[in-house]
Amino acid sequence: MVGSASACLEAAAKAARQALTNIGAARPILAIVFADIAWKMLFETQPGGEIAPIREIFGPEIPIAGGYTVGQIHKSESGIELLNQHIEIMLLGAID
């Protein structure tokens, strides 16, 4: 497998920053992270390494749950496609 751990870490950080921006005024209460199984293989010698930049951005107070996927199905203009080597972050929030 060819992959760049540093590119994956930057992608994870970018996704975390986007999630924080998109949640707006809500207080983050839970992050759910889905990463492609290729990330697990890439970080085999650093288990959970892909979560480190997310944890750094969200801080220790926001719980993180998730798992690995074998790709995502995406509907595009040209039809149904299988995406792989992605990371998705859903950030749930509460409005006080």
pLDDT digits (tens, 9 = 90+) for 76-88: 888 888 777 889 9
Supply the pLDDT for residue 59. Answer: 96
pTM of the complete model: 0.83
Number of structural domains the chain divides into: 1
- Is 92 or 86 the better-scoring residue by pLDDT? 92
CA gyration radius, the chain: 14
Looking at residue 2, its pLDDT comes to: 58
3-state secondary structure the chain: CCCCHHHHHHHHHHHHHHHHHHCCCCEEEEEEEEEEHHHHHHCCCCCCHHHHHHHHHHCCCCCEEEEEECCEEEEECCEEEEECCCEEEEEEEECC
On average, the pLDDT of the chain sits at: 90
* pLDDT for residue 27: 96
Who has greater pLDDT, 64 or 37? 64
Confidence check: pLDDT of 74 > 80? no
Domain residues for the domain of 51 are: 5-94
